[in-house]
Structures are given as C-alpha cells and as structure tokens.
Amino acid sequence: MKFQLRFIIPITLLLLAGGLLGASFSRYFGDITEDLRKLEEAFLMINRRYVDPVEPNQAAEDAIEGMLKSLDPHSSYIDASAFKEVAESFQGSFGGIGVWFQIPDGDTARVVSPIENGPSEKAGIRAGDRIIAVDDTSVVGVGEDEVKRRLKGPVGTQVEVTIRRLGIQKPFTVPLTRDLIPLYSITSSYMVDEITGYIRISRFAQSTYPEFIQALDELQGQGMERLLLDLRDNGGGILQSAVAIVDEMLAGNEYIVSTVGRSVPSEVFVAQRTGRFETQPIIVLVNGNSISASEIVAGALQDHDRALLVGQRTFGKGLVQNQFPLPDGSYLQITTARYYTPSGRLIQTPYEEGDREGYFEAKLEGLIKAQQDPDKYAESIPDSLKFTTTHGRTIFGGGGIMPDHFIEGDSLRPRILRALYGGALFESFRLWFENNEQVLRTTWEDRADDFLNDFTFSTAQWDALWVSGASSQVPVTFVEADPSTEELQFTYKELNDNSETIRLYFKALLSRQLYGARIATPLFHAIDETFQESLLLWPEAEKLALLSQ
C-alpha cells in the first residue's frame, strides 16, 4: 500500500549565494559555501540552458523537496497560504462566521451546526441550512477549502451569505460581521455516569490547557471521581500544552518528557504544580492516529503508572519539529530533536533517512500485527526494547506507545461494520436524510430528550434508507449468497447480524444533524467498542491510582 505525506507542501527556495553570506555564514553553519555555490550554479544553468522554458519558482520548490526527502519522514515545507491555516489550528481561533458545515458530492455547503454564541447563531442560521452564495457569488459545487476561504476574514469585516432553508420557498440573504471563532481542542466532555467523566482532546493548541482545566472543573463539579481521557485520532500539536495537561495528573518533580537534539539544548520537562487530578483513576484511549504530543501524554502517564492505556498502539512520531521562516512567508518545518518518555522509551518509530514510503508501509504493517495478535507481538519485542514503569510494570519501546489493553481495530471487524465506520455507508444515510429532512426536523428538532429515548427506525424508514443507498452515486446493494467483488455489496445475513449496531450508528448520525455533536457523542459511544470495553477496566485503573496515593 502506498502512502503520501499530507504536509509536504512546496515553498519558494531561498538561494543562499556564498558571496552574499560571507564570513558570518561560515561562522554559524560551517564552511559549506562551495556546496551553496554548486547549488546556485546548477539552478542557473538549468534555467538558462534547458531545452524548454523552466518555471524558476517550481524548480526551486522541487529542489527543496529533494533536500527534505533525504532526511527524516516528517520534515516538510509549509507554503505561506498553508502556514496561515496551520497557525490558526495552533492558535485556537480565526476570523469567521462560526459554522460547522459539510459538502456532499456535487452539492453545496450544508450547516451541521452553528458555533455557540458565534455570528451565525446570533443571526438565526441553523443546522440544515444550505449556504448557496457568499457575497452574491455562488458556492454551489465549490470545494470545502474555497468555501472556507470566502467565509473567513479579518474580525469586524462584513460578509453576506445566501441561505436556502427547507420550508421556505425563496432563498434569503443574511448579513454577518466576522468575529473571532474558537477552534476548540476539547471537542467533547460529559458525565458518562454518576462518577465517570469523559474528555476528548482532538489536538494540542495554545488554548488546549485552559480548555482542559475548564472541562475538568465542570466535570468535578458534577461529581467526577474518575476520568476517561480520549486521545484517539489526536494529531499532536504544541509540546507545552501537552506537558501542562500531564502536570495536572502527576505529582510534583516527576519527569514528563525529555528532548535530545544536535543543534538545540537537551531539555527535561518536570511536573511542577499541585495538579487537580493527581490521585484519581484515569483511563486513556489511544489508537494508531494518536500522534506526537498525544503520545507524550500517554507515555508519561503510563510510565508513572498514573493511567491505564486502552486501544491500539499509537503512531510513533517522536520528533521535535521547529518552524523556520523564509522571506516569502513560507516555512521549513525541520526536525531538531527526539522525544523520550520518563522511562527512556524513544517514541519515534525507526526509519531510514530518505525512505519515506518504506517508513509508512513498515509502520502500517507493525500496527496491523499488533492488532491481530497483541500477545505474540509483545513476545517478539527484544529485551532491549522492554522498559519498566515507576512501580515495576513491563512496558515496550520500539516506536509508539503500546496500550496496557489492546482492543481490536477496524481490520478485524465484520466487513459491513468496517464500511460503516469508514464512512462508506454515509451516502445512503445522506440521501435518506435529504428526502425526509423536513418531516424529521418538524417532528424532533425541539425534542432532543424524546429523540434519545424514543426514536427508532420504523420498518418503512429502514427499507427506504437502503433504497436511497442503492440509488446513490456510491450504491450499496445486498444479495442472498456471497457477494461479488463489488466493494459495497453485502449479504442480507451481514445486514441482519449487525442490524442493531447499524441502526444505532445511523441514529447517532441523525442526532448530529438535528442537534450537533454534543447530543450525538454518547450515541456514538454506545457502539464504540474501545469506549465500551474500557468501562469494564476501572478496577485495574483504580489499582494503579492507589499507587499514586
């Protein structure tokens, strides 16, 4: 299977001619002026002599790509326009109108939910509205990135959106003033039961720590005595935010993480303050998409026996990366150090410099092996990669963080559930929802509690849902015997055997359309195997908590 890095984005090359840099360059970077002159001469020669015209900027970008590909798998370019979006995600806010939206294939932006207290909510925009134009320019059939670009802008500026709403014959225009829109890192927090709190961290940005403290305080105010911390699909982010959150769960003077590099000083991060949650039971959920900063959190809590880790082996990205600006506003994101957990484990998966494709293929193979037979995989790990926690438990290195309890991943689920959780059946739901949206909103939109308690798919609705799926651009069909090689062809037995899970999943999708993620999250958790199995492991987590008291 072939993989491509998402964040390798070309930027303009800065040609550093030796004559311009002089002795000061040699003082900081060593005597590499001859190499730079060679690069400059090659660039000029190609530009002047090649048989066809050469676009200099593209040639420069390709040159930088070539240099970075010879390094580790994660050093990359970020061009000026892409860096703006990256910076927004780390800052935790941007100027915009405050809506979550999705764009079905060939359709226009559909509002999933307005952001609380944002300009759109205050102006009366609601879930289900279609945005068909921005400032009198149609956005029907326009891609998500372009719609975002048109809706975003400096705080205080004006924008008009044209809305089509079910039940209203003509589109109408809504004037909006852009405001500062938060990009929340804590995407869900609620009480699972009388004593169990749940917090999901989607990334580590500048705002993550204060968001975490707010969620923690609110849940403790509701009686939380134990915490389920969800780091699945967390792509990482700012190291300092991860360290601050771990500090709330570790006693003072305990190591959190260390960094070791060549051109930057080595650092050791230590818990310093009295935390809000230093002795209570904690379970941390992780998977193969828990990356970098989320692995620092998981690794530190596991090394100190502060939390029970449940799920799948994490990604294994333990490289410290710093961003260095270039004159045109683009950046080089370069690895400057490596992360180590308190026990000495290197988080980074081994790699050969220059072999990015092989790195990701080997990583996928390792994740699959760990899922298929965790015990056999653990036995195959050499003694040199076995480490010990504060209280003597054996834990494993070799890249990524190995959970204490493995839960099988998607690859081992029934085929129809893999398609369901992978989003392949969403088209069936989307078309059915479009055909029934007005009735569903009229019946349920103001009755969230009744919906959660009473809604079930009638036989007619259930049959209509699959009829919609069969007529979609991504058709789902059912046969009596073994299916053909068609990707979305299943047997009726597969459907019937997994009917309850599929019904709950579609109910969760429906609740998200009607009420937003806050109401839908517990419904998704009802069919989340990792979530459900983790609730059975509190006795073990409580034993670990006693070690911290």
Q: Across 231-298, where does the E strand assignment appear?
A: 255-261, 267-270, 282-286
431, 469 Cβ separation under 8 angstroms? yes
Beta bridge partners of 158: 177
User: Is 26 a residue of the active site?
Assistant: no
CB-CB neighbours of 72 under 10 Å: 20
SS3 assignment, position 241 = helix
- Catalytically annotated residue among 75, 202, 294, 317: 317
User: Is 292 a residue of the active site?
Assistant: yes
Q: Where are the alpha helices (DSSP H) in 30-162?
A: 33-49, 56-69, 80-91, 119-122, 144-151
Q: Where are the alpha helices (DSSP H) in 119-165?
A: 119-122, 144-151
By C-alpha distance, which of 327, 285, 397 is closest to 80?
327
Q: Would residue 163 be called left, alpha or beta, if left means φ above 0 and alpha means ψ between -120 and 50 degrees?
A: beta
Angle between helices 56-69 and 33-49 (to 10 degrees): 140
Element (H, E) at 242: helix 239-247
- Catalytically annotated residue among 72, 129, 247, 303: 303
How many angstroms separate the CA atoms of 315 and 241, rounded? 19
Exposure pattern of 463-485 as b/e (b: 16+ CB <10 Å)?
ebbbebbeebeeebebeeeebee
Q: How many residues belong to the chain?
A: 549
How many angstroms separate the CA atoms of 356 and 4, rounded? 9
142, 130 Cβ separation under 8 angstroms? no
Q: Would residue 203 be called left, alpha or beta, if left means φ above 0 and alpha means ψ between -120 and 50 degrees?
A: beta
- Catalytically annotated residue among 120, 290, 292, 428: 292
The residue behind tokens 């015997």 is 481
How many angstroms separate the CA atoms of 319 and 292, rounded? 7
For residue 510, the 8-state DSSP code is: H
Positions marked active-site: 292, 303, 317
